[in-house]
Amino acid sequence: MDSNELSIEVELSPQFHDCDPMQVVWHGNYFKYLEVARCALLQRHDYDYPQMQQSGYLWPVVDARVKYIRPLLYQQRLRVRASIVEWENRLKIDYQILDAATGQRLTRAWTIQVAVDAASHELQYVCPPVLWQRLGVSR
């Protein structure tokens, strides 16, 4: 599989309602931007949240980390890059938020999701084969 297929970039600009009084994006809203990129990446593989649930699995985020390097500003053009880096025992996605004009890295982050059987609510210690099939990767 081409590693470019495991990455995607989306462009967005922070809206006024995402910012504090200094027109800087409030730190909790970064997760919203990460999710926009994560959903676009999963949609590329036809395994976004509705398809996950239809396949019999829930994929909650169980861990996340954000490194705030430079502030995101009101109406700043941004590129949010999401890359799947692990898929065997968990789904780990790395992110970068870049200034769209300069390419300067503003934020680094990652999220970890695990498969949970939708019927039994049991944690799956190995990702189900449906994830590998949708991603086009081997175990």
- 3-135: what fold? Thiol Ester Dehydrase; Chain A (3.10.129)
Model confidence band, residue 57 (pLDDT cutoffs 50, 70, 90): very high
Decide if pLDDT at 138 tops 90: no
Please state, rounded to an integer, the average pLDDT across all residues of the chain. Answer: 95
pTM over the 0.85 mark: yes
Each residue of 59-76: pLDDT tens digit? 999 999 999 999 999 999
| E strand intervals along 27-120 | 57-58, 61-68, 78-86, 91-99, 105-113, 116-117
Structural domain boundaries in the chain: 3-135
Each residue of 81-92: pLDDT tens digit? 999 999 999 999
How far is 56 from 9, CA to CA, in rounded Å?
A: 28
